[in-house]
Amino acid sequence: MPRTEAASTMAPPRHSYHSEPTEIESLVAAVDARICLFLQTESDRVRRQDPRLVEPIEAIRAMSSAGGKRIRPMFCFAGFLAAELTAPQDELVNAGVALELLHICALVHDDIMDASSERRGSPSAHVQFGTQHQKRRWHGSSEHFGTSAAILVGDLALIYSDRFMPRRGALDDIWFRLRADLVLGQYMDVRATAENIADVRLARWVAVAKSGEYSICYPLLLGATLGGKPELAPLFQGYGIAVGEAFQLRDDLIDVFGDSRIAGKTLGQDLRQGKMGLLLTLGAQRAPEIQDMIGHPDPEVGAAQARVALRESGAVDEVEGLISDLVARGCASVDGAPISARWKQWMHTMAHDVAYRRT
């Protein structure tokens, strides 16, 4: 029988991101403090030159302090701590800062590409700069100014990010692949949407590149490598790729069925733009009329129809089933690992947290 309730209500009791061990909590707090201090120092430096130069730095600061789950730094710290290493706190925090600033770059640039107007409960960067332009009645197109400024904000966040990642052999390789594959995954996403490709294999690869590897697998590997235990790589890879795909599949469900007031970001983009993630790809295979609903002249009508059809076709159930399998597979891959029961428990909890979150 097809489900009719909101996808998010299917989730098991929600675990809190605050269930993590105190070490991770305090490292995350140190990341936030260091980002704040760094941006303050940069602002002070450039303000002496011209107060307007502070604006792109301020945009990064606002994004950072507006929230965000800090998932990538958390997995990086877990990768280190699970290996039972004593933290050279400074390097570890720097790696967390690098991951978080890189994520700000990805969000700012993605929001331009997806024409998303909201992020972390505020207008997205290109919208903020565009609005500023309009309010002050500056010359030229406000939209174009917003896009230009946001491209530069993202570039700056990418450059700042790079300033923090500790550099040496194996770390360098992981950091490089993490970033290059993030960009290539996003290109494939944009490209497949334009071409309207509905291909299960491709949709799953994009999810792995953009989320599995970028958000979970590589951060874990960075942590283990920082601690000099790269031998944990295969274990973390198994966990990261499975749980990361679950993370992305939940993202797809939230985009279609979620509440943007809770998510704090623009939702419904996949239906509006015909972005063929796994959910829509499976839906279109099971019920080809979903493709017409996505292209409906009135996007709101089309989206409402598609939501019903996605449920009735069984595509939602199939994705929920896959999420459940992926979480189980991810958890199984840490069970036999040479890490303590406490960290196994943490990784289980996190797998459920990211796979069944609502934002």
Question: Which residues of the chain form contacts with a second copy (CB under 8 A)?
Answer: 42, 46, 49-50, 52-53, 55-56, 105, 109, 112-113, 115, 133, 136, 138-140, 144-145, 147-149, 151-152, 154-156, 158-160, 162-163, 167, 172, 176, 179-180, 183-184, 186-188, 190-191, 193-196, 202, 205, 273-274
Q: CB-wise, 8 or 124, nearer to a second copy?
A: 124
- Shortest spacing between CB 121 and a second copy, in angstroms: 24
Instruction: List Cβ neighbours of 228 (8 Å cut-off, separation of 6 or more).
Output: 85
The secondary structure of residue 87, as a DSSP letter, is P
- Amino acid in the structure at residue 30: A
Q: CB-wise, 161 or 313, nearer to a second copy?
A: 161
Rounded Cα gap, residues 149 and 53, in angstroms: 11
Q: CB-wise, 81 or 221, nearer to a second copy?
A: 221
- Shortest spacing between CB 133 and a second copy, in angstroms: 6
Q: Which of 231, 222, 288, 282 is nearest to 253 (CA)?
A: 282
Q: CB-wise, 79 or 154, nearer to a second copy?
A: 154
Q: CB-wise, 10 or 183, nearer to a second copy?
A: 183
- Shortest spacing between CB 321 and a second copy, in angstroms: 26
**DSSP H or E segment with residue 119:** strand 118-119
Percent helix, strand, coil in the chain (nearest 5)? 75, 0, 20
Q: Compute the C-alpha angle 328/333/336, nearest 5°.
A: 120
Rounded Cα gap, residues 216 and 336, in angstroms: 19
Rounded Cα gap, residues 209 and 200, in angstroms: 14
- Shortest spacing between CB 21 and a second copy, in angstroms: 32
Tokens in use for 336?
């036999």
Distances (CA, A) of 274 to 75, 112, 265: 31, 16, 18
Q: CB-wise, 33 or 159, nearer to a second copy?
A: 159
Rounded Cα gap, residues 180 and 158, in angstroms: 12
- Shortest spacing between CB 224 and a second copy, in angstroms: 21
- Shortest spacing between CB 353 and a second copy, in angstroms: 29
**CB contact at 8 A, 346 and 23:** no
Q: CB-wise, 85 or 202, nearer to a second copy?
A: 202
Q: Which of 344, 258, 268 is nearest to 299 (CA)?
A: 268
- Shortest spacing between CB 196 and a second copy, in angstroms: 5
